[in-house]
Chain A
């Protein structure tokens, strides 16, 4: 006998009709629920479809290929869910169980329809049947295991995880669906009483059937029908309620993976024409966000990873990326939903800056991108926040030291407000060529404002310049022609000040036909790499640690063999270098004085737990460099504590802002530990 089972076996025809009726009802409710969310997203500014459908075939296919790959890898493959130990495992098992059960049930329906057309089309029998039943049984266990884990976690409820009453409903209904599924199968086996492989294909079902061994066939049939109904109702309830619970992330999450900006450190430009047309800049109310941003709010599951990674939250500032996303989601859900006529500035919906998001919350962010990196579904709290900052700055709602820094960038081209004429003062006595005197340079050394004006960072510039000279590099600096890249301005929300500075710098680059740039400042680097190309400035930009590493690899700088680090050293990864631009190997190799690629020799370095892409901010990014830190602990103190805990005597950094912050943080906790840039350490080793 071919092992199989009858679909809707033991179910009276009237029940089958009712089943399909309810199935339609639940799907309609589901559809309405999703539609209602969709309407909320549609309040937003349309995402320029030009981006998605413009360009040549190969360009487009690449774009879509990478987007679909993201969905496959990060959605189906759960790549971004990993990294949280047991919780990640439980999610992956629950997810796999859910997907397989969903797929299995769909296949069953396909088989039912097919065999309805012709008995010959039935495939749910024989070997397929055995494989199917066994797979469903096994993945059912995974599904239930995941459910039980998350129920346990809801009872313990870690503070970073959001909680709502409907969460109990979701998990309990999952649990009940799984359990009743096995009961239905067990009871079916009792009355059907299959033999041989037809029975052992369902090991768990057989186990359950054992509990009902004393039941009569008629009793089993009756119980089977009842529990089958209960199981079906639970499933319909689940389908209907999905868009109204957190489970909507199962749909919106993958959608967001498809649509979200895949790279860190990028911001969307605004033009003067945009501002003239809309009479506003940035975001003051929900419809000012774009549709993808609004959609992303529904993808948030409140898992709390962003909050755990956030330096502002960790030090008691009034900012949690998760709370920000949830507050915006709340505002979106209660927003009237109508798109204002012509998308004008006169907004009929309540403003976000009046009670939804506090000013202190907006200004607490260091733009370190940690929250964006850890989000399993690529929600981007940082861009939500910087878009709102743009509005605050545009509405003249920023005052204090950050305002002073912006004013100085505007008037003097640097946040210190020092004269442009003094920009090359750091180089005095080093005989460093200016681009205007030496236009035939190979590489431009972009010194940045800190290296030019900050007393401490000037020493980094000097050390690096000496190394360049020692290696015989044909380089030049711009001197007074260099201006702030505008990174802080852009991330503080002054888009047009940034654009003005960028245009001036790009004009200077064009004048000297600059192609290759080396800089010791990761903020300048990111701006040149991520911001400038948006305005037509494309350059090869390398960090000084990469450049020095190449010089050593090429034999142009020679380190004495076997002469490693003089004393225990740790390395603090700057966010914009390691996390945002993925540069974290070169500084380490440089510190250890080893050749590129032989990463195994790096174990002499005293590493902190949070390092490379998962590094923890020093507190200076996002314009925070120019603000006082009033609430809570200082971010730099927390990070310095981590650095000191490694037992290091030297804290190496690769960023002038980190240098300032880590020096401050270390100074309050230790007298004997010094903070130095990697270039200074190398210059010391070469006795420069």
Chain B
């Protein structure tokens, strides 16, 4: 007996809700720095602030031990040019990383300057970052002195695309490699981050979702002086009084696609991501940017889970792909020979497809692990794939099921799985909170880190920017006094979030979520015109006026999911407003406006910002690279940076 229905059949009644019910009951917490979101960025923010000697509270929707996209693990510590094996200058590498339109030069500069220090602090906490047991002696990229395992990724440039010189004689020789990416044992990290939070006296609130930010005296745009939270097990209402708040609740949720029944939620990012932080920042009056950017969802479709086990994942380093007859197909192997290229160069995908149709390649395709040397195969399978995100369990399950990759080829679903529909979109790594060189938002007292910010990067980026935001917020709270919270704002928030508990029928959260995704698929998708986008806005406003008042939640968990829906509605509206405001098409923003077909016209080569003032939507603009000279700005803002933390046991 393990499932709910088996329990019911055995007992003749459903189990009672296992936690106390405290709908609407208030609990007040006083702190200096409140961090909302306990993923990688949030944990590092909390730890870093606490190390500055201020009081810190951390609210997390799941349990900090394994929550967030990086909770299960991470295999690549990307873009660490300050590591001792690197052959590139951190400031130069940061400039190269930011050398594309709509980049966040602030975040990548912090990543390049500080993520190696961050990694060493992870090691201080007990995280495994070196091959100390000599498991992979002889693997390419392994350094005997430091025992670091360098990954082939970004071997020549910071891009998933192949270098144009791939295949030329002497390409990517060991003595000229960048060595900017380190292979790590990231499944060890998250429980250690929680442990360090506890050791430092951070007040950790597991199962608490942030629902709103509290502005001073309840005035939108005024200093943020706290936040409200909802416990997803008890329904308790938390009121945080804080001198400063760091938002680290990541990006958008599944706004275009919800496919739980197909194969689980199957998201690449944590299933708990639902745009709460973005919605909270918006309501508090903080400016957002790049909200009009979307892209086609490639792997989080409910069908694409096999991506990880089908030789398509970023951890399949050095794995050649072969057809059903063992013939090598010209797809990148993400290895030393192509400097870690992850996606095929121009025309290659089409060439393979044509070859399949002509009979040159026979389907299906396989990852040819037996063709690899023993040590490289082990490094790919036991280190890279095992440590990557949600894949440890997949590797273990395959091993238990009898799959032996010294002998077996793993089937890939490329081509036979089909492609995502253009209507299956995602906010991806795109829009978010606008920040300055202190990672402060446009609202006083409010900071942001990780993928809460616009145009974010990966795990080590979240770690380094979280650590940075924690330091800056701690410095801020030492200079300011307590702020005054508005009781009226709290009452309004309680009315908003507890309304679904007053009903026992109507529309449940899943139906509402699905209704929202359908509206986004129809009106905010491949075909974008002013008419369609406005119809999308009307459709979502109709959902708000007709469906939201029918939302019902039978327990605190379903209430939490219902409140997530409300965040997603808000997020969707912001996206449409931003798409309407950008009267131009843009390739890097994934925005094809049929009514403004010219791609990236020079007059629109700028960031569009969006915020609320007195409830009215205000648009603004910022030039590309508004953050200035990255090296100079970083140094001007970090004269007191002391490097790697020294623990005082």
A and B are interacting partners: no
Q: B interface vs A, CB < 8 Å?
A: none
